[in-house]
Amino acid sequence: MEDKRGAGALLAIVPGLALMIATFLFAQWLEGWLKPFTVFGFPEFFGRVLNLNYIIISIIMGVLYRNVLFKGTIPSWAADGFRTTRLFIKTGVIMLGSIYTLGGLAKLGLQAALLISAFVFGTVIFVMWLGKILKMDRSLVGVMGAACGVCGVSAAVATSPGVKAKPAEVALAIATILGFGVMTMFISPFLGNLLKFSDYQYGVWVGTGILNSGQVLASCLAFNPIVAPGTAVAYGELWNVMRVIIIPFVVFVITVWYWSGNKEEAGGQNISLLEILKSKFPIFVLGFVGMTVLSSLGLLGQEGSETSHLLRTLMQWIFGIGMVGLGAYIDFGEIKAAGGKPLIVGLVAGTTKYVLALFMTLYFISKDAPF
Amino acid sequence: MRVLLALDESTQAMDEAVRLCRERGAALTALFVLDGNWSDYTGHDWLSGSTVRGAYIEYAGQEDIKDSERLAAELRARAGDLPLEVKLANGVVREEILKEAETGGYDLLVMAHPFWRGTATVRDTARDLLGKLPCSLLLVKTPPHDI
């Protein structure tokens, strides 16, 4: 493999990144172009009925690149550029911290923490029970429990080494989680509109019910692409950040559970919560909270100021470009190959969680948010 | 005649490659690909820190090395006195198999179907290779892993 450093590494990013930016600009133009069309008697059909905005167009374009134009593999000339997707989304989420205040964060944070903890650990226990019924390998149950319980791919990757999961099994588990996530990512905005969810209700629902973090973000932006306090992404991502904070605790619980059932294995395993916290804690959360602190201190400009406007426009660009990349990492060939018991567990646990979160939102979450 | 066996968990593919080589007096080369595709495969995973991703990729790499040794030993036991060379490559599984088939001057590639190897497990590797291989392809039907 070619080792690129310094200027070479930066130059290697350019072609793929340029394609992502051009696609984002095209998606924005296409949204505006499609807006006035009346189809089947519905005025503004694409926007109002299909909920087709530039975020969804960006994701679909990314999906088309990967699956049609690139035939399943991002070509080497574009690979480095597309790899910046993670950086874009992570930067965007850190910047998102600026739309909260510490007071708002504390008010919603407690509610989010309680709901998320109940859903996360409830799902983990459900998957352990289901895995036992299906006589699944303990390591795979651990990976699926983390993936379905917390936040998909990241939790699967964080848990696998601790429970000695086979890489091929992890690949199948990830394909299952992504397949389910892609489905919910496209269905949720449509359902949210149909059920006339407010931004707050929508954020609570998908932040709790969708398995994978990338898809929570995409789904929120697809519902309402505006990045500002009180929009779907503000609530959905707060829920998501709460989930992310729980990752190390879930990894600890699952690892302890795994080794408690493998006492015969020579040497066993020393498991320390502190070590897991140190190695698995998502550092970007600190950046997110840091931005909230700066915002609360008024260092990022008052609401409605030029600075806050600039920050939000920048976030919209960052997320929009990131969504092209997110789409480009969806490979239907891989998702189609998901199978075996992980698929059964993923579908049953994922659907149960998604539907339960939907009913919880419908009956217990008010339309108005605390902030 | 030269035969290339793409190594995975399938003992059926191993036996078939050994049988063919014995029958035709062919030399057998086996290729085990250390899966270098994890970074791309987990590309959706934006929230893992580099330590978590790095730790996983390192773990998967160590598991691959253990598998390569175990499967090579399994094949040697089955091949007996048949001349055998086991090669290691690192990269995207289907691309490395294709590269070896193109450069090694083989007449036949033997592989399991479905092919059970790292992230290639979630691809139809045989279909990815069809139409690109410079040699014949023998797919050995292997029961899917019960996981």
For residue A243, is it left (φ>0), alpha (ψ between -120 and 50) or beta? alpha
In order of their start, the domains of chain B are: 2-141 (3.40.50.620)
Model confidence pLDDT, tens digit, residues B35-80? 998 888 887 677 777 788 888 999 999 999 999 999 999 999 999 9
- The predicted pLDDT at position A187 comes to 93
- What is the domain partition of chain A in residue ranges? 14-364
**Residue numbers of A between 334 and 353 with CB closer than 8 Å to B:** 334-335, 337-342
Give the contacts of A179 (CB within 8 A, at least 6 positions apart): A335, A338, A346
Nearest residue to B31 via CA among B100, B92, B80: B100
Average pLDDT over every residue of A285-314: 87
Three-state secondary structure readout of A122-184: HHHHHHHHHHHHCCCCHHHHHHHHHHHHCCCHHHHHHHHHHHCCCHHHHHHHHHHHHHHHHHH
B30: DSSP letter: E
| Percent of chain A predicted with pLDDT > 90 | 55
**Alpha carbon distance, N-terminus to C-terminus of chain A:** 50
DSSP SS3 for A281: coil
Nearest residue to B34 via CA among B122, B106, B119, B104: B119
Residue written as token pair 């190390």: A248
- A137 touching chain B per CB within 8 A: yes
Confidence band, pLDDT 50/70/90 cuts, at residue A57: very high
Top residue of A65, A170, A217, A219 to mutate, by most chain B CBs within 10 Å, is A170
- The predicted pLDDT at position A264 comes to 67
Burial class (CB in 10 A: 0-12, 13-18, 19+), A278: exposed
**With an 8 Å Cβ cutoff, are A136 and B116 in contact?**
no
- B33 touching chain A per CB within 8 A: no
Give the contacts of A204 (CB within 8 A, at least 6 positions apart): A115, A235, A236, A239, A357, A361, A365
- B64 touching chain A per CB within 8 A: yes
**With an 8 Å Cβ cutoff, are B147 and A169 in contact?**
yes
ipTM, two decimals, is: 0.89
